[in-house]
C-alpha cells in the first residue's frame, strides 16, 4: 500500500475531490483525518471508510478560522501520533461570483477567506506538524483557471486560485531542505456539485466543454489518483509544481469567436 503508516489530513472531505481522496488514501493504508464544515456529509465519508476497514476520524473546522485549523492538526497528531500529508482541498465557488463590476465585495471577501486564507492557515499549523514527523507532502487544490482564465466570469474564484499557485511555489522553495514538498493540484472542469451548481445551464456547460480536448468533464476520482501520486513517496523529487489534471484544456485553450 502506497501510504502505509502515514497520516493524511484532508479538508473538504465531505464531498467531491475531498471525499474521493479520503476513500482512496484510506484504501492505500493511510490514517485519514476528514475535515469539513458539513458535519453530516463528513460523517458519511467517515462511515464509508470505516465500512471498508480504514482508520479515520472526523474534525469539524471552518478553515478560515485559525483556532479551527490549529485544532484539526492537533487532532491528527493526538489520534495518530503524527501528520505526514496535508491536503488543503476545501474551497468554494460562489454562485454570485462574476466579473469585477458585478461581483459584490462580500462574495470576494468570502472566497478569499476560504480559498486563500484557508490554505495559509492549513500550512501555518500543518507545517510544524510535518516538521515533527520528519517531513511530508502538502497538496493545495488550485485550478486550471489560475493559468488561463475562465470563459464564464468567476473573478474571485480565479483570483483565489492564482494566489494558491503563488503560495505553493514560495512554500515549496522555503521548505525544500526540510523534506517538505508542496505542490498544487490543478483540476480541469469537473463533474462535481461545486462546478455543476455554477454551470447551472446547458449553455454554460457547453461554453466550458468546448475548450476541453477530451470533450468531457473530469471526475473527482481522477483528481484523487493525482493527489495520491503527490502524497506518496513516488513523487519524492516533485515540489513547487502546477500539477495539471485537466483533460488537455490548458494545452489547447482558445477563445471562441
Could you list the active site residues?
A: 157
Length of the chain as a residue count: 257
SS3 57: strand
> What's the longest Cα–Cα distance across the chain?
56
Contact 35, 90 (CB under 8 A): yes
**How far is it, in rounded angstroms, from Cα 15 to Cα 90?**
10
Buried b (16+ CB within 10 A) or exposed e, 163-199: bbbebbbebbeebeeeebbbbbbbbbbbebebbeebb
Of 198, 228, 29, whose CA–CA distance to 107 is shortest?
198
Cβ neighbours around 206 below 10 Å, total: 10
DSSP code string of 29-50: T-EEEEEES-HHHHHHHHHHHH
**How far is it, in rounded angstroms, from Cα 129 to Cα 217?**
36
SS3 2: coil
Amino acid at each position: 500500500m502506497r501510504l502505509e503508516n502515514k497520516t493524511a489530513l484532508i479538508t473538504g472531505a465531505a464531498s467531491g475531490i475531498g471525499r474521493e481522496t479520503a476513500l482512496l488514501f484510506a484504501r492505500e493504508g493511510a490514517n485519514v483525518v476528514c475535515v469539513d464544515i458539513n458535519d453530516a456529509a463528513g460523517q458519511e465519508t467517515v462511515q464509508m471508510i470505516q465500512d471498508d476497514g480504514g482508520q479515520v476520524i472526523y474534525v469539524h473546522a471552518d478553515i478560515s478560522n485559525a483556532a479551527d485549523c490549529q485544532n484539526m492538526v492537533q487532532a491528527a497528531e493526538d489520534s495518530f501520533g503524527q501528520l505526514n500529508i496535508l491536503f488543503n482541498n476545501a474551497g468554494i465557488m460562489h454562485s454570485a461570483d462574476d466579473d469585477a463590476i458585478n461581483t459584490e465585495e462580500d462574495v470576494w471577501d468570502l472566497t478569499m477567506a476560504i480559498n486563500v486564507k484557508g490554505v495559509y492557515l492549513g500550512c501555518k499549523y500543518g507545517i510544524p506538524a510535518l516538521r515533527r514527523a520528519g517531513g511530508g507532502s502538502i497538496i493545495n487544490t488550485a485550478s486550471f483557471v489560475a493559468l488561463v482564465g475562465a470563459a464564464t466570469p468567476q473573478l474571485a474564484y480565479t483570483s483565489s486560485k492564482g494566489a494558491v499557485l503563488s503560495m505553493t511555489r514560495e512554500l515549496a522553495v522555503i521548505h525544500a531542505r526540510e523534506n517538505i514538498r508542496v505542490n498544487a493540484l490543478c483540476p480541469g472542469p469537473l463533474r462535481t456539485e461545486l462546478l455543476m451548481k455554477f454551470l447551472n445551464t446547458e449553455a454554460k456547460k457547453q461554453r466550458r466543454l468546448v475548450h476541453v480536448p477530451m470533450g468531457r468533464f473530469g471526475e473527482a476520482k481522477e483528481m484523487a489518483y493525482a493527489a495520491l501520486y503527490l502524497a506518496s513517496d513516488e513523487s519524492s523529487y516533485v515540489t513547487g509544481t502546477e500539477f495539471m489534471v485537466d483533460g488537455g484544456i490548458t494545452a489547447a485553450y482558445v477563445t471562441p469567436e
